Amino acid sequence: AGGPGGGPRSRPRRDPEGAMQEPLLDTSTDDGDGYWEFDKVLRQERHCIERKRQDKLLKDTSGKSEPFSLAFSGGGIRAAAFQAGVLWRLAEMNRLKDVDYFTAVSGGGYITSAF
């Protein structure tokens, strides 16, 4: 259930309502103990990101967008309100597609997952 060459898919399959039908990454383990080696996870993650970037380059020939990451911290309702504004503005600018990583803790996690 992977992408070309047995790697992870660049986009999950979705049903007509938009729910994911299968995970983006293969979650099976080779060793049977339920854990993956860090190097294997890192290779799959890099493959997903490179695939996403390649797909984007094929669609966007302007070259104006640079990939970037977002990190949201905790900090209560004021921090969450600010972070919501950042996400809203990035969506208006059509830049959320350029995010390689989202990372968040505490209230930042709530607003990121809710968005």
Answer with the residue of higher pLDDT: 104 or 23. 104
The confidence band for 20, taking pLDDT boundaries of 50, 70 and 90, is low
Q: Which residue is it, tokens 């990372």?
A: 103
| Per-residue pLDDT tens over the stretch 24-72 | 556 665 556 667 788 888 888 888 878 877 776 656 656 666 778 888 9
25-34, 79-88, 97-106: the lowest-pLDDT one: 25-34
Domain ranges, residue 71: 65-115
Instruction: Give CA–CA dist 112/88, Å, rounded.
Output: 11
Kindly tell me if the per-residue pLDDT of 1 is higher than 50: no
Kindly tell me if the per-residue pLDDT of 100 is higher than 70: yes
The confidence band for 6, taking pLDDT boundaries of 50, 70 and 90, is low
Last residue of a domain, one of 22, 42, 63: 63
Same domain, 112 and 87: yes
Last residue of a domain, one of 24, 47, 63: 63
Kindly report the backbone phi and psi dihedral angles of residue 70, in degrees, each rounded to the nearest multiple of 5, phi listed first.
-120, 135
Tell me which DSSP letter residue 103 carries. Answer: E
Contact of 18 with 27, CB cutoff 8 Å: no
Answer with the residue of higher pLDDT: 49 or 17. 49
Kindly tell me if the per-residue pLDDT of 96 is higher than 70: yes
> What percentage of the chain reaches a pLDDT higher than 70?
63
Same domain, 70 and 53: no
Same domain, 12 and 49: yes
DSSP string, 51-71: HHHHHHHHH--S-----EEEE
Counted domains in the chain:
2
pTM of the entire predicted model: 0.52
